[in-house]
Chains A and B, each alone.
Chain A
Amino acid sequence: DTEVTQTPKHLVMGMTNKKSLKCEQHMGHRAMYWYKQKAKKPPELMFVYSYEKLSINESVPSRFSPECPNSSLLNLHLHALQPEDSALYLCASSQDGTGGDEKLFFGSGTQLSVL
């Protein structure tokens, strides 16, 4: 199983809503990532978890709150988002986040629209 599964695939929410994006992998990977991608732009790193601990937070606004309940799951909790937060949110995983030739496996993303 080399899949990273993200749910939901599409999400429309208002600026006062609270929602969560979910990501799951069963490859035994110990590093998981959230990236944000706007149309025709490259993925931008948001958060990195390594061994269930947050290791990188790329100055992301607090309205985005990541959570890693265990080594297979990664959530992104959303609250009071702005329309400019509309984007494709990609989850990825890799072996353990310590470099070398480990590659990132991406999920198919959640397309988020904030109204």
Chain B
Amino acid sequence: GQNIDQPTEMTATEGAIVQINCTYQTSGFNGLFWYQQHAGEAPTFLSYNVLDGLEEKGRFSSFLSRSKGYSYLLLKELQMKDSASYLCAVRDRNSGYALNFGKGTSLLVTP
């Protein structure tokens, strides 16, 4: 099994930068994913990390430290449409490689 922990809610201002943290404990780590989910919609893939370091994709970056069991998602130049839930998910080879999700961080972007 695994524990995945992330803040419940965050608020940030349009144009600003926000960092959403995720910590996890797992016995068979096989990758960490970030998904975005707008209310009533399906989760959509944002990023994937399996090695330590930073992965950058436009306004979104994700960082991983396997020794610390820690990841963060960095969102730059925030836009109102970025208001959504951000789900940290860990793949565990001991769970058939399925993704197990954290509780999600609800981000509100204000004008």
Contacts and interface: CB of A to CB of B under 8 A. Distances in A.
A114 to B, nearest CB: 18
B87 interface: yes
Contacts of B87: 42-43
Interface string A93-115: 00001111101111111010000
A102 to B, nearest CB: 8
A51 to B, nearest CB: 13
Interface size range of chain A in the complex? 20 to 34
Interface size range of chain B in the complex? 20 to 34
Given A56-B95, A106-B44, A109-B42, A99 B100 contact: no
A96 B50 CA distance: 18
A15 B84 CA distance: 33
B31 interface: yes
A106 B42 contact: yes
A4 B106 CA distance: 25
B42 A48 contact: no
B43 interface: yes
Interface string B72-111: 0000000000000001000101011111111110100000
B33 A108 contact: no
Contact of B103 (A4, A41, A106, A109): A41
A20 interface: no
A71 B33 CA distance: 25
B42 A42 contact: no
Given A101-B31, A101-B50, A43 B91 contact: no
Interface of B: 30-31, 33, 40-45, 48, 50, 87, 91, 93, 95-104, 106
